[in-house]
Structures are given as structure tokens and as C-alpha cells.
Structure 1
Amino acid sequence: MDTPSEALPEPEPELLTRQLAEAAARLYLQPDVHSTVTAVVEQGVDIIGGDAASLTLLGRRGAHELTVASSDRAERADRAQLELAEGPSPAALTARAPVIVDDIATEPRWPRWQDAVADAGFRSLLALPLELGPHYSGALVVLWTLPEQPADRHLAVARLLLRHAAIAIVDARRSSTLREAIDARYQIGLAQGILMERYGLDATQSFELLRRYSRDNNVKLSQVAAGVVRTRALPDARGE
């Protein structure tokens, strides 16, 4: 449940510095992209000071990749932007600049999105774009249940947090890609061993057999290898 945040005094610089350092350390320790994004959303509430937050990642050509939110209502508000192709996140991404809404109820820029989130209970928000390289992007939305809540200090803290978030997400994606590549190579090696033993092939011949099957059947090499490991044979060679 999203509850209104109390009007807290501006944090001392030393406290804010420590909070951001702890947040950065937590982000960099996450094992994958989903965990990293989840940590960013949690910090969006804890450090920035909102009542709820959500973060959406977009892949190549703007394809939706992942949405994480601190509550069901925040997730619905975020997903409505994707479905309607309008809202604060698309605006922030297009302008490559933060978007502040002091009162969602009177916001004229996105009427369909405004109608879709009318019963969500949020009145103000801060949306910031997240730059993740040439092919990936995202947006963080921090929401308040009261109007006119986002202030300059919220924007400053959010920008600092997103600098760490961008680095952590890119690093997590790179690590995941590397792990997938290592796992795929391991599966290919196992599949080669199975084919070499079963059909009397050498290493070069077994790899060429896998590669040719992958090409002829338009199946990824790693998937072909995983199938061989699982069934102990190429699909069209079973039962021979």
C-alpha cells in the first residue's frame, strides 16, 4: 500500500552522501539486471523520498524489456504508459530530460494516461530518463500521493542515484551476457563430446555437425547443443 510521505526536512549533506554510497554499493552487488532494477526502485522510495516508484527498461527499437515497481498501483500506472504510448516516461525519454508533474489530476499533456491512472491515488511525480548505451534505455518514475511534492532536492538526489544505477545495470547486463556465453560454450563442449563418442567423430567434425544443423534448421547453436545434451543425439538422428 502506498502511504503519503511525511514532509521531511532536507537531509544533511553527510547523511545523503552516506545513503548514496550505501545505495551504490548495494546496486553494484546485485547478481543480475532484474535484481539491480529492483534495488533502484527501492532506493527511489527510500532515498529520493517518494511514496512509490517504478522503473521500466526498453531494449532495441524501444521494445519493452522489464518493469519493476514498488507497488501494484505504481506498476499499473507505469504499464499504462506502455500500452498508451504516452505519459511522463515517454516524454522524459523523448526529451532526454526530467519531467515533473505537480498535479496529475490537472495535467493536460497525456489525457488518456491521466484517465487510466485516475483511480491509482497518485497526485504528483518525477520521471527521469535512464541512458544505458546506444541500444537500451529506461525511465524511473517516483510518485507521490499528494500534489506538488517533487522539489529541486528530489531531482538532484534522483540524478545522482541514476548515475550509479546506469553503471550498475550496464555492468549487470554485461555480466549476464558473459555468463550466458560461458554456459553456451560449456553446453556446446558437452554436445561435441556426446557426438564424438556416439558417432566416432573428432572435435572439428562434431562442431561442424552442430553448426550445420543450427544453420539448416534456423536454430541457435546453443539450443542445438542443449538438445543434444538432453537427448544424447541430434533431433533427426534419434533412434538410429
Structure 2
Amino acid sequence: MAQELGDVWEKFAGALADMARDLLAQDSVQATLDRIVEHATVLINGCDEAGILTVRRGEVRALAATSDVVRMADRIQQDLCEGPCFDAVTDRRQLYVIEDLRQPHEQWARFAPELRKLGMGSMMGFLLFTEDDELGALNLYSHRPGTFDEQAQRAAWVLASHAAVAFSAARTHQQLGHALETRHEIGEAMGILMERHGLTEDSAFKVLKKASQDHNVKLREIARKICETGEKPT
């Protein structure tokens, strides 16, 4: 029995390593998120559906989902202001499990019956990351009650931990890319102002900054418009 269990975990570790390589190979944050939920349904025993969402200031935003049923579950949490993710905002619990959605659930008395109507039998959720007042969660669903035993919970926790790292890395890479693009556009716009309008470097940047403040438009957008038109902003 112990040998058999060891073989299962060894196989899972290999599959997890393959997942990690696959996630790092994705070229965008969205592609990374989509692959995470796909891997969850393959690697976690009994997992039929999976989704990733964030909760920020009480508003739910679905980031990735394996089906429309998962998106509907996210909307239910939003409409009811009740569910695992809302509780996670306040107490930062790492794991949530509803073992049997057929039974009355005191903590989520309205949310659980709505999930039953969607054909769900059990679910569990994992905290992925927090940034300021934003929370991210990986939610796993099964059509059958009592699916997620201790082994499934442990495996899902390991998967969620890897997913959180991959998600964070993808988001950091994207932010860095945007920052470099912004820096390039601002530099190009300043060059245009200096060459065509006889401004110094300091004056050119002040023109960009003032236009951004006066029009309540991001500096990057002001710079992009200058690059397109060659005109000094009013």
C-alpha cells in the first residue's frame, strides 16, 4: 500500500514538473491562467471544473474558467456577496472545502444551494495571492459529493502553490514589458518635442506631465498621441 501510494505521488510530481514547464512557456498572463485551470482538471482526482477569480473591494472578477458553469458560480458569489472567496478576503484562509453540497451549509446558506442547481456536488478553493486589497483564488469543482479527500486536497494545495508562483512571474513579466514600452514611447515623444518644438529635455517632460494631469489621461497615452501626430499637446 505504501509503495503504491509512493508511486502515485511520484507520478504526480512528474506531472507537476511538466505543468511548471508548460506554464513558464506561456507568452501572456491570460494564457498562463487558462493553462492552470486546464491542468487542475487533469491532475486533481475528481476535479471536473476549475476557475480562477479575484475579489477586489467586494467585486468578483473571473480571470479564467474551464466552462460557463464556473463563470456562473463566480457571478453567484458576486450577486450574493457570499462564498469562499468573500470569506478569504477577511480571514485569509488558505483552503476552503465544501464536502457535500447536498447537505445544508451554515456558513454559505445561500451560496451552496445555488451551486447544487448548477450540478456541483463538492468544491474546494485555495488562496493564490494577495496584492493590496485584492485576493486571488483557485476554485475546484466536482459534480459528485465527497470527492475531495485528504489526498486530493494535498495534491491541489501543491498545484495551487506552483500556480501562484507561475501567475506572479507571468504578471511581473507583463508589467515589466509594459513599463519598457511606456519608457520607450515617452522617450520618443520627448525627442519629437525637443526636435520639432525646440524644447529642452526637462521642458519636454514637463509638457507631457502637464498634459497628462490637465486631461486626466495616462502619460503613456499622451506620449503615444505625440508620436502619432508630431503635435505638441495643448
Instruction: Give the TM-score, by structure 2 length.
Output: 0.86
Return the match for 2:179 from 175, 178, 181.
181
Structure 1 pair 141/195, CA: closer, same or farther in 2 (3 Å)? same
Q: Which amino acid aligns with 2:36?
A: V
Name the count of aligned residue pairs. Answer: 227
What is the CA–CA distance in structure 1 between the aligned matches of 2:136 and 2:158, rounded to whole Å?
Answer: 16
Return the match for 2:226 from 209, 212, 228.
228
Task: Give CA deviations for 1:53-104 in whole Å, capped at 9, x if unaligned.
Answer: 1111345x46545421101111111221123221133334544131211221
Q: Which amino acid aligns with 2:109?
A: P
- Kindly report the root-mean-square deviation, in angstroms, between the aligned alpha carbons of the 2 structures: 2.2
Q: CA deviation at 1:152?
A: 0.7
What is the CA–CA distance in structure 2 between the aligned matches of 1:136 and 1:127, rounded to whole Å?
Answer: 16
Structure 1 pair 40/93, CA: closer, same or farther in 2 (3 Å)? farther
Unaligned runs of 5+ in 1: 1-8
2:60–2:75 Cα contact (<8 Å) kept: no
Task: Give CA deviations for 1:112-164 in whole Å, capped at 9, x if unaligned.
Answer: 22343343111111112223455543111111111111111111111111111
Aligned to 1:210: 208
What is the CA–CA distance in structure 1 between the aligned matches of 2:194 and 2:32, rounded to whole Å?
Answer: 41
Return the match for 1:57 from 54, 75, 79.
54
Moved more, 96-105 or 109-118: 109-118
Structure 1 pair 200/93, CA: closer, same or farther in 2 (3 Å)? closer
What is the CA–CA distance in structure 2 between the aligned matches of 1:22 and 1:119, rounded to whole Å?
Answer: 35
In percent, how many aligned pairs have the same letter?
32
What is the CA–CA distance in structure 1 between the aligned matches of 2:204 and 2:126, rounded to whole Å?
Answer: 51
Return the match for 2:141 from 136, 143, 146.
143
What is the CA–CA distance in structure 2 between the aligned matches of 1:132 and 1:32, rounded to whole Å?
Answer: 20
Q: Which amino acid aligns with 1:32?
A: S
Q: How does 1:69-218 map to 2 (within 5 A)?
A: 69-95=65-91, 96-108=93-105, 109-218=107-216
Q: Which amino acid aligns with 1:99?
A: Y
What is the CA–CA distance in structure 1 between the aligned matches of 2:136 and 2:94, rounded to whole Å?
Answer: 12
What is the CA–CA distance in structure 1 between the aligned matches of 2:104 and 2:65, rounded to whole Å?
Answer: 22
Instruction: Give the TM-score, by structure 1 length.
Output: 0.84
What is the CA–CA distance in structure 1 between the aligned matches of 2:60 and 2:230, rounded to whole Å?
Answer: 37
